[in-house]
Amino acid sequence: MPPTFAAAYSLGVTAPQLFGDDEAAVDFARLLHAEQEFTWARHPEPGETVTSQARVASDVSRRGMRFLSFETDTKDEAGEPLCRSRALFVIRP
C-alpha cells in the first residue's frame, strides 16, 4: 500500500467538513495544496475499520496569504494509532 493512500481516509473524509464550514471561511477556489506528510505507527490491514479525526493545527496570515495547517489522526478499532497526516493549505488573496 502506498504511504499516501492514507489521504483517502484521512483528509478525504474530514477535509470536506472544514471546506464546507462557513465559519472557517476557506475559499476553495483560491486554495493551494502546499505540503502533505504522513507518520505511520503501522499500516492498516485490508478490510480493517479505521476512524479519522481532524483538527486545524494552525491558521496564520502572512504577506496577505492565509496558511492553514490541518492534522488528521487515524486509529484502528481498538483506538490504537495508525497514522497521522498533516497538510498545509495556502489560500491566496
pLDDT given for residue 3 in this prediction: 63
**CA-closest candidate to residue 90, choices 36, 38, 37, 52:** 36
pLDDT given for residue 8 in this prediction: 77
Sign of the Cα pseudo-torsion (91, 62, 71, 25, in order): negative
pLDDT given for residue 6 in this prediction: 73
Q: Which domain holds residue 14?
A: 3-91
pLDDT given for residue 88 in this prediction: 95
The DSSP code for 67 is E
CATH number at residue 75: 3.10.129.10
pLDDT given for residue 44 in this prediction: 87
Domain count, the chain: 1
Q: What is the pLDDT along the chain (93 residues), one digit of tens a residue?
A: 566 677 777 777 777 777 788 888 888 899 999 998 989 999 888 889 999 998 899 999 999 999 999 899 999 999 999 999 999 999 999
Sign of the Cα pseudo-torsion (49, 14, 6, 41, in order): negative
